[in-house]
Structure 1
Amino acid sequence: MANPTIDQSPAEAVAWRDKKRHLWMLGLIPPTAIFIATGLVALFNRASDALGWSWISAVSPVWWWIGPILIYVLLPILDVFFGPDGQNPPEELMEQLEADRYYRYCTYAYIPFQLVSVVFACYLWTASDLSWLGVDGGLGLAAKIGVALSIGAMGGIGINTAHELGHKKVSLERWLSKITLAQTFYGHFYIEHNRGHHVRVATPEDPASSRFGETFWTFLPRSVFGSLKSAWELEATRMKRLDRPVFHPSNDVLNAWVMSIVLWGALTAIFGWQILPFVAIQAIYGFSLLETVNYLEHYGLRRKKNDRGRYERCTPQHSWNSDHICTNIFLYHLQRHSDHHANPTRRYQTLRSFDDAPNLPSGYASMITLAYFPPIWRRVMDKRVIAHYDGDLTRANLQPGKEAKLLAKYEEAAA
């Protein structure tokens, strides 16, 4: 295991304090963002009435898009402003930090706010009288789509909350993980990520590891459908091993999907079928955010095979990291991805940043936007992959069918 970025003496370890301890509560901003948006819309509309400035009320609907604003604007700016974290927990305090229940309560708290926000969004999509907000009638289509994307952003970040909980051995946390995934109908992630991705990460066989030369838009369907297929096969194999039929209540793919059916069915029964297009929009946007993060976490990285044809153990060299503090707070240290793959059950507060892990130029929030634009992404990232492999691109995880073209292109550029 590589050494962390910061080494503490025993005396320093005793005096060490998690400077982010209380900042972890900021992770509750995404599941409460729709309520923040509602308050801002009401405030702008009332200010418009009081001051007689109609332009203020014209601007107020922008706040329904608070989720995309947070991801694509605010977090990238904050990552640049506050920069990397630079603090690692000392080895001597790992056990104590792991046992501190405050940190797990921070993740638990996400779930009730998430569910209440989904219900409130359904109300906003169907309400015909929002005069208490200063809105004539109900929301317009643009505002409803903004609400859907904001709820989807919460669901996408919620998948990361489910990721944190799903890796744990506590049965309650595993079930909470499935509940969190119900909103985006992505319950199979619970299976595929833990038993598929973590086994095959940074190999051509892993649908969730992007390849050098592969665009995000090619990766997205490959990962979505490949992960779904893998999750089902993994559970079918487990059911066979237990001598149970594949369609059995203990099938974790099925029982996770049932949670989504129950949630979506209950919301439809209460608010009507009109919510379904917006529920679908938020789900697709939510899991696409997850897949964007998957895309940037292992782009072009590949584990070597040994003489017996087996892949080497996953090391810090096989994940792209970022230690930018703001996005890390919102994603429970997901950006310290190398340590996560080395220690999957380790709780987020104890994850460390490594000097020798390949690093992204900014936080995940900034890189998500770059991933949408392949020419910009490749301009930023391809040179980093090449440098990581000391110019030997044959060691990278190359897009199948493009190997010769990619090798020729970069050999020519280096000549």
Structure 2
Amino acid sequence: MSTETSRISWRDGRRYLWPSAIMVPMLPFLSYGIVSQTGVEGWWWLTPGLVFVLIPLVDMVGGDDVGNPPEDAAKTLQSDRYYRWLTYLYLPLQLGGLVLGSWQWQQGDLGWVGLLGVLVSIGTVNGIAINAAHELGHKRESLERWLSKIALAPTAYGHFYVEHNRGHHTRVATPEDAASSRLGESFWRFWPRTVWGSLKSAWHLESSRFALRKRNRWSWRNDVLNAWAMTLALFVVLTVAFGPGLIPFLIAQAVLGFSFLEVVNYLEHYGLCRQRVGESGRYERVDEQHSWNSNRLVTNMFLYQLQRHSDHHANPIRRYQILRTFDTSPQLPAGYATMIVVALFPPLWRRIMDPRVIAHYGGDLDQANLHQPARAQLLARYGPRPGGALAAEAP
């Protein structure tokens, strides 16, 4: 079949499923409508219920999508602005939901069930918005990069724009990366390390950029500062509009939102490690074996195909609609929506994931990205590899 014939004959069978991604920021509006009509505040829990309960259940029966678009159709798909607009549309819905949630928090006359539902719903929407920011922030177009910062503003995580692109993608799957979790490290230990480490990394990277150019880092051109300025401006406007009682809500939903991002970071590279090669001792190039993947169809539709993470790291500017899956990538036992919930319970997570990391490295713990405080426990449970470095240190 010729290249031209392939382009004409191949069609994206999921084309009209991709708008699923913008269903999530629409849910708070749906909750508000139902609560207004019924008076049942529990409907404010619709968003977390769909994301953390319904989607995992549907994922179980929705099956996997292991197909890849043909490479000769990739250029056409890449330039199709339909897919681009689906990321753009998330932002006005996200910001509109934040305004709605702020109004309900201050003036909705809600009880604690409704107030907590509003908080968790808006935090969830803004957390998933970081995925839209992730997609936009990797692109070369200036508009998309600025939209990325706007999407990050509600969670006060604008420094992610710098750290993720120039820090995480450089150091991924190494002990030096704050956003790569280690074998034996629980999410609750990972969280403070990655939150603080990512912030420090972003400031260092941006400061170094200005130092290299012999310019003052205290500038509006500093991508950390201008991103944080967006958050400050947004929070000030909302506080003026709805009152100072809104401040706890804004802070809490931001923490929930960026924690949503960090639990995804946690599961994306858990225990995986790039090896040092050659006389220079440099890390090997990032490939499809350095990220956990999932081909679960439903979650991929809701997350702009974030689960095809190996191809994303190998080709960061490749748009979500043409990301590929590889047989050689380590696979999660379920979609991200399910694994996020599992990650919150360390004993369950380790029971499921630790054996998979060990198997990925053929039983050689030396090759994994190890959480050093868990070293003895891992040795006791899985045993050292005969002749390996861990074997030499084992009692």
- 312, 319, 327: which one aligns with 2:284: 312
* Structure 1 partner of 2:60: 80
Q: Name the aligned partner's letter for residue 82 of structure 1.
A: G
Question: Identical aligned pairs, as a percentage?
Answer: 55
**How far apart are 1:412 and its partner, in Å?**
7.8
Q: Are the equivalent residues in 2 in contact too, given 1:196–1:230 (CA < 8 A)?
A: yes
Residues of 2 paired with 1:340 and 1:38: CA distance? Answer: 36
**How far apart are 1:37 and its partner, in Å?**
0.7
How do 1:378-389 and structure 2 match up within 5 A? 378-389=350-361
- 373, 378, 403: which one aligns with 2:375: 403
- 224, 227, 249: which one aligns with 2:195: 224
Residues of 1 paired with 2:335 and 2:8: CA distance? Answer: 30
Residues of 1 paired with 2:340 and 2:385: CA distance? Answer: 27
**How far apart are 1:9 and its partner, in Å?**
8.7
**How far apart are 1:269 and its partner, in Å?**
0.5
Whether 1:362 aligns to 2:334 is: yes
**How many pairs were matched up?**
384
* Structure 2 partner of 1:135: none
Change (3 A) 1:256 1:199: same
Residues of 1 paired with 2:362 and 2:149: CA distance? Answer: 42
Whether 1:280 aligns to 2:251 is: yes
Whether 1:174 aligns to 2:145 is: yes
* Structure 2 partner of 1:49: none
Q: Deviations over 1:260-289 (max 9, x none)?
A: 000000000110011111111110000001
Q: Are the equivalent residues in 2 in contact too, given 1:144–1:278 (CA < 8 A)?
A: no
Residues of 1 paired with 2:151 and 2:234: CA distance? Answer: 11
Instruction: Name the TM-score, length of structure 2 as normaliser.
Output: 0.94
Residues of 2 paired with 1:255 and 1:33: CA distance? Answer: 30
Q: Are the equivalent residues in 2 in contact too, given 1:394–1:407 (CA < 8 A)?
A: no
Whether 1:324 aligns to 2:318 is: no
Residues of 1 paired with 2:85 and 2:250: CA distance? Answer: 28
Residues of 1 paired with 2:80 and 2:219: CA distance? Answer: 37
Residues of 2 paired with 1:398 and 1:9: CA distance? Answer: 49
Paired residue secondary structure (2:263): helix
* Structure 1 partner of 2:390: none
Whether 1:32 aligns to 2:12 is: no
**How far apart are 1:402 and its partner, in Å?**
3.1
Q: Name the aligned partner's letter for residue 352 of structure 2.
A: V
Whether 1:108 aligns to 2:80 is: no
- 210, 215, 219: which one aligns with 2:181: 210
Whether 1:236 aligns to 2:207 is: yes
* Structure 2 partner of 1:188: 159
Residues of 1 paired with 2:102 and 2:277: CA distance? Answer: 53
Residues of 1 paired with 2:385 and 2:282: CA distance? Answer: 33
Whether 1:346 aligns to 2:318 is: yes
* Structure 2 partner of 1:98: 78
Q: Name the aligned partner's letter for residue 72 of structure 1.
A: F
* Structure 2 partner of 1:134: none
Change (3 A) 1:206 1:35: same
Per mean C-alpha deviation after superposition, the further-off stretch among 69-78 and 148-157 is 69-78
Paired residue secondary structure (1:62): helix
Q: Are the equivalent residues in 2 in contact too, given 1:145–1:278 (CA < 8 A)?
A: no
**How far apart are 1:408 and its partner, in Å?**
3.4
| Structure 1: gaps of 5 or more residues | 1-7, 46-59, 131-137
Q: Name the aligned partner's letter for residue 366 of structure 2.
A: T
* Structure 2 partner of 1:21: 15
Paired residue secondary structure (2:304): coil
**How far apart are 1:21 and its partner, in Å?**
0.9
**How far apart are 1:14 and its partner, in Å?**
3.9
Q: Are the equivalent residues in 1 in contact too, given 2:6–2:73 (CA < 8 A)?
A: no
Residues of 2 paired with 1:283 and 1:289: CA distance? Answer: 10
Change (3 A) 1:412 1:311: closer
* Structure 2 partner of 1:252: 223
Residues of 1 paired with 2:384 and 2:208: CA distance? Answer: 47
Q: Are the equivalent residues in 1 in contact too, given 2:83–2:321 (CA < 8 A)?
A: yes
Residues of 2 paired with 1:258 and 1:362: CA distance? Answer: 38
Q: Name the aligned partner's letter for residue 190 of structure 1.
A: Y
**How far apart are 1:192 and its partner, in Å?**
0.3
Instruction: Name the TM-score, length of structure 1 as normaliser.
Output: 0.90
Q: Name the aligned partner's letter for residue 122 of structure 1.
A: S
Q: Name the aligned partner's letter for residue 166 of structure 2.
A: R
